[in-house]
């Protein structure tokens, strides 16, 4: 099994790999590349959209009085991408009809969703997650965007380690969202 030791963290080159899932224009992706926010937003763009909700999670420079040097993310990619896809399908079910549409009229309330999560080292100030949701109306876009974020934070098999300025990398802390 190939694994690469890097700055005190062992990357799971075999298990924490880049991957993506795509269905009906909805996209989930895990990537070691820097996230292209405007590219992700334009990818959910559509002439039938009246709203695009976007969430950008970035690396904060402090935690409990300590200065954060960088974050490192790893994932069990094979399982995490399935979890993310299931969450995205659930978001489409949850937000299935706009209140602004007549009851009996089948209008998709979400047009396209995209969730991109970065893996590997993320320097302070750079995005680690970008979520974009387009919808005919704002409310569904906001609801779906928040649902995607909260569900992914609590369920997707992705882990973050925080490295602090002036501290041994061995003291770097694996975070927990619970």
Partner 1 sequence: MARAATRSFIKWALSVDRVHDCDHIRHILQAPSNFMAVTHHFEITVLYFAAASTATQKTTEQIRIPDNGLRLSELGNLLISQYPETNLRDVLQSSQWSVDAEMVDDLDSVVLKGGEEVAVICPVSGG
Binding region for partner 1 (CB under 8 A)? 1, 3, 10, 12, 14-16, 57, 73-76, 78-80, 82, 117, 128-129, 149, 152-161, 174-178
Q: Which is nearer to partner 1, 1 or 64 (CB)?
A: 1
Tokens for 151, please give them.
């569900």
In 73-119, which residue ranges form alpha helices assigned H by DSSP? 77-94
Q: Which is nearer to partner 1, 137 or 173 (CB)?
A: 173
**Does the annotation place 138 within a ligand binding site?**
yes
Q: How far is the CB of 137 from partner 1 (least distance, A)?
A: 26
Q: How far is the CB of 74 from partner 1 (least distance, A)?
A: 6
**Does the annotation place 153 within a ligand binding site?**
yes
Distances (CA, A) of 9 to 34, 106, 117, 157, 170: 19, 50, 19, 17, 9
Residue among 88, 107, 81, 83 at smallest CA distance from 147 = 88
Q: How far is the CB of 130 from partner 1 (least distance, A)?
A: 11
Tokens for 20, please give them.
């993506």
Q: Which is nearer to partner 1, 72 or 140 (CB)?
A: 72
| Cβ(141)–Cβ(135) below 8 Å | yes
Q: Which is nearer to partner 1, 34 or 78 (CB)?
A: 78
Q: Which is nearer to partner 1, 24 or 169 (CB)?
A: 169
Residue among 110, 128, 134 at smallest CA distance from 42 = 134
Q: How far is the CB of 153 from partner 1 (least distance, A)?
A: 4
Q: 3-state SS of the chain: helix, strand, coil percent to 5? A: 25, 35, 35
Q: How far is the CB of 144 from partner 1 (least distance, A)?
A: 16
Tokens for 23, please give them.
């269905």
**Does the annotation place 161 within a ligand binding site?**
yes
Which parts are annotated binding residues?
A: 137-138, 153, 160-162
Which parts are annotated binding residues for substrate?
A: 137-138, 153, 160-162
């Amino acid at each position: 099994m190939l694994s690469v030791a890097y700055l005190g963290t062992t990357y799971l080159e075999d298990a924490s790999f880049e991957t993506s899932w795509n269905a009906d224009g909805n996209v989930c992706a895990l990537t070691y590349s820097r996230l292209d926010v405007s590219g992700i937003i334009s990818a959910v763009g559509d002439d039938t959209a009246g709203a695009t909700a976007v969430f950008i999670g970035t690396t904060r420079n402090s935690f409990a009085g300590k200065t954060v040097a960088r974050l490192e993310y790893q994932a069990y990619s094979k399982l995490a991408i399935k979890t993310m896809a299931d969450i995205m399908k659930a978001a489409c079910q949850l937000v299935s009809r706009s209140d602004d549409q007549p009851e009996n009229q089948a209008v998709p309330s979400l047009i396209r969703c995209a969730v991109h999560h970065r893996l590997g080292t993320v320097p302070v100030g750079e995005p680690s997650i970008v979520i974009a949701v387009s919808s005919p109306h704002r409310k569904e876009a906001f609801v779906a965007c928040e649902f995607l974020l909260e569900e992914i934070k609590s369920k997707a098999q992705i882990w973050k380690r925080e490295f602090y300025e002036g501290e041994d990398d061995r003291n770097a802390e694996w975070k927990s969202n619970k």
